[in-house]
Structure 1
Amino acid sequence: MSINKVYICDAIRTPIGRFGGVFKNLSPLDLAVPLIQHLVSKNSEIPKYLDELIVGQGYGTPEAANIGKALALDAELPDHVCGYTVDRRCASGLQAIIDATMMIQTGKANLIIAGGAESLSQAPFYSSKIRWGSFGDLTLKDSLKYGRIYANGQKNPILGGMLETAENLRREYQISRQEQDELAYQSHMKACKAIEQGKFKKEILPISVKGRLIEQDEHPRQDTTLEQLAKLKPILEKDDAEATVTAGNSSGQNDAAAFCLIASEEMANQLGLQPIAEIIDWAVAGVPSAVMGIGPVPAIQKVLKNTGLSLSDIDRIEINEAFAVQLIACTKALNFSERELQKLNVNGSGISLGHPIGATGARIMTTLINELNSTSSHYGLISMCIGGGQGMAAIIKSINH
């Protein structure tokens, strides 16, 4: 069977809202509908030929039980457009794009919108014991808390959640608190510089909130200092006197949506769509759940081997900053040179821009494509760690017009 080429012909995202911030009253559908409508508005033929809408999401609710199809309906797409939801935790948005890639490669589809939508501000509290009656006080569980604890399965829960896995990497790779805070500081400075230079304007669709137009990311902090970061207490210090992971050197909990229009070469030509990137290859790899943050290492090694490329061939590298310690561990394990470090997360990442779980992979893809094309660069690498002990990576090639 021949493998069809797969192109991203458009990519767009919302600004990223802080936890409990400007988007706290908007559902994932509220965030995503304007993006879908924007993508299809550029060409009247797109809705006619659109096969699927694939949405990554980590913390959904029954109000959009299958957000993929719910989004297709709320965005007023034709009834023939199918939709489904993907959950590979932090890589959900990238997995949605890869699902679209595989469908187009094998000829099962020609035109797909794929990405992710998440509102961690609206992540539900729940109870699994009310339906059949209960005695005594009613207790609700926080899905954000238990989603992290049980990402490792119910037989071996990680009581400290992802924080515990980050501290495990700190021990294994002997990473200091100072190193982590320095990376966090630099992440905010990169993101704020990118905002000041207008780097994200092309990739962001402004969102209206109560008559106010939100046009830029809310999470980056221009006033961040190393002194402030150093004063923050480690979150697990009660259980570990040597703990180093703080709220300041960890990724944010955020609200956002991001989507790509993905097409076969035949469909792009038929509709006159201009490809902006080609998806070259991808890989996923498993690691021990206790050190889930090291997941990008084998995933990156795998995709580089598959493509015959090396890190020196890659012009821009994006590894999501779930934690500063996790990213540092990955760069050490991959033996990053100074040149490779300079290509890494050049506009900030999860610590500064935020980490809207289900949307993060698509957000990074959108930003990476924009960065490659604006700098006339060629190859881009995207990767992230995944709760439960996985890593995912993909390589794209820009198409500069």
Structure 2
Amino acid sequence: MREVVICSPIRTPVGRMGGALASLSALDLATTVLRALLERTGLEPGAIDGVIGAQSYPTMEAPAFGRVAALDSGFPTTTGGYQLDRRCGSGLQAVMNAAMEVQTGVSDAVVALGVESMSNAPFYTEEGRRGAPRGGYFFRDALARGRETVGGRFYPTPDGNVGTAETLRAEYGIGRDAQDALALRSHQRAVQAQASGAFDAEIVPVTVPGRRGDVLVDRDEHPRADSTLEALAALTPLLAKKDPDATVTAGNASGQNDAAAACIVTTPEHARALGLVPALRLRSWAVAGVDPRRFGIAPVPATELALARAGLGLADLDVIELNEAFAVQVLACLADWGIDAEDPRLNPRGSGISIGHPIAATGIRMLATLANELPALDGTLALETMCIGGGQALAAVFERVD
């Protein structure tokens, strides 16, 4: 199969739930990042064969999301596109799907797009077509419902992902102090990266129209410079009423966020022909599944598979980007890997707890970050992995291209 490289991974700032980007739809965010991708690379839109759009909380305002986003961004009608959902792994899965198209010769250049506007996730009813029931219609919150049903009928998760995180806490004996310490370290690293300008190369500013004029958003909203261990320790665990031993709080869990991210997936030869500069080479990838009720540990088997396929071990990696869905979940994976929580290779610029976790955008957001981290740290090899609600995980090994 043909070799695959990643070019120009970029992203919008990550907005807080109900924050600076909340007035923009997922489609608005997607078109912003796609237009910026074309502008930064100088590519003619017709040079792209298709746009794979990852989105986990869609509406029918933009069906087959990749196609609609492409059309609205100025790509020609000959550009294909579709939508996929592998929950938290959706963005990275879009990259892998694009890679498979390129490897097999189906396409020469594909844009992988990940987007989520959790601020605008829909409320919905399935009762509307059968007439109004007594008492009126019941509307479900898509965000909450998706976390409850993701294990299907036989692996229920009534307490959502938080409940599964508490399962790992009990199984691994991970205390609250260790979780809060990891959360604080994540914020400190993200804030330091912001202050140093480390994120500037990967971020596309977003113009947000307002009644008092346009506002330019060019920084992540979620990192907290004022975070302290004392402030984190003061937060009440989310399941405290059900479980007196609960430890997962809003402070040591990932955020709910808004963002879009995109990159170009192609071959080295085609990149040269298009005038693109590859940032990363895909070495291997893997997906793994575990019991949905302990989904946060799934990066362990996924990483084992991906590293084996690349002929590598954890010691060979210069950067390990493990998305922080929950601090306890990260600590459980590290325990199985035998890696210290303060290992400098782990999320050097923060992750889901500090930067945020805009579900389907996260995988490509992480890719944009590690593409800039590797040369800054004079590294060569990086792992990107994340747990996925419902008991899955993705892992991919990337190599820096000089």
With the shorter chain as reference, the TM-score category is over 0.9
Q: Quick one: distance in 1 between partners of 2:41 and 2:238?
A: 49
Q: Deviation digits for residues 157-215 of structure 1, max 9, x if unmatched? A: 21100011000000110000000011111111110000001000000011011211111
Q: Quick one: distance in 1 between partners of 2:388 and 2:329?
A: 11
Q: Deviation digits for residues 279-308 of structure 1, max 9, x if unmatched? A: 111000011111000010000111111111
In the alignment, does 2:286 pair up with 1:283? yes
Q: Equivalences for 1:27-42 in 2 at 5 Å? A: 27-42=25-40
Contact 1:115–1:361 (Cα < 8 Å) also in 2: no
Question: Which residue does the alignment assign to 1:226?
Answer: 229
Question: Which residue does the alignment assign to 1:143?
Answer: 142
- Amino acid in structure 1 at the alignment position of 2:16: R
Question: Which residue does the alignment assign to 2:371?
Answer: 369
- Identity across the alignment (%): 47
In the alignment, does 2:332 pair up with 1:329? yes
Q: Deviation digits for residues 29-77 of structure 1, max 9, x if unmatched? A: 1111121112123455542221110111110111012111110111010
- Amino acid in structure 2 at the alignment position of 1:138: Y
SS in 2 for 1:30: helix
Contact 1:4–1:265 (Cα < 8 Å) also in 2: no
Question: By how many angstroms is 1:154 displaced?
Answer: 3.3
Contact 1:10–1:262 (Cα < 8 Å) also in 2: no
Q: Quick one: distance in 2 between partners of 1:338 and 1:25?
A: 37
Of 92, 95, 99, which aligns to 1:94?
Answer: 92
Q: Deviation digits for residues 6-32 of structure 1, max 9, x if unmatched? A: 111211100000000001110011111
- Amino acid in structure 2 at the alignment position of 1:144: L
Contact 2:334–2:341 (Cα < 8 Å) also in 1: no
SS in 1 for 2:288: strand
Moved over 3 A (4+): 42-46
TM-score (norm 2): 0.97
SS in 1 for 2:16: coil
Of 255-264 and 374-383, more deviation after overlay is shown by 374-383
Of 36-45 and 172-181, more deviation after overlay is shown by 36-45
- Amino acid in structure 1 at the alignment position of 2:278: P
Q: Equivalences for 1:75-94 in 2 at 5 Å? A: 75-94=73-92
- Amino acid in structure 2 at the alignment position of 1:17: G
Question: By how many angstroms is 1:265 displaced?
Answer: 2.2
- Amino acid in structure 2 at the alignment position of 1:335: G
Q: Quick one: distance in 2 between partners of 1:89 and 1:280?
A: 23
Question: Which residue does the alignment assign to 1:356?
Answer: 358
TM-score (norm 1): 0.97
Of 96-105 and 136-145, more deviation after overlay is shown by 136-145
Structure 1 residues 304, 43: closer, same or farther in 2, change over 3 A? closer
SS in 2 for 1:358: helix
- Amino acid in structure 2 at the alignment position of 1:395: V
Contact 1:54–1:96 (Cα < 8 Å) also in 2: yes
Q: Quick one: distance in 2 between partners of 1:41 and 1:338?
A: 39
Contact 2:45–2:74 (Cα < 8 Å) also in 1: no
Unaligned runs of 5+ in 1: none
Q: Equivalences for 1:129-168 in 2 at 5 Å? A: 129-133=127-131, 134-168=133-167
Question: By how many angstroms is 1:334 displaced?
Answer: 1.1
Of 311, 316, 325, which aligns to 2:314?
Answer: 311
Question: By how many angstroms is 1:356 displaced?
Answer: 0.2
- Amino acid in structure 2 at the alignment position of 1:171: A
Structure 1 residues 257, 45: closer, same or farther in 2, change over 3 A? closer
- Amino acid in structure 2 at the alignment position of 1:59: Y
Q: Quick one: distance in 2 between partners of 1:338 and 1:92?
A: 26
- Amino acid in structure 2 at the alignment position of 1:387: G
Unaligned runs of 5+ in 2: none
Contact 2:66–2:113 (Cα < 8 Å) also in 1: no
Number of positions where the alignment pairs a residue of Structure 1 with one of Structure 2: 397
Q: Quick one: distance in 2 between partners of 1:43 and 1:160?
A: 44
SS in 1 for 2:231: helix
Question: By how many angstroms is 1:155 displaced?
Answer: 4.1
Structure 1 residues 219, 338: closer, same or farther in 2, change over 3 A? closer
Q: Quick one: distance in 2 between partners of 1:8 and 1:238?
A: 46
Provide the aligned C-alpha RMSD in A.
Answer: 1.2
- Amino acid in structure 2 at the alignment position of 1:110: D
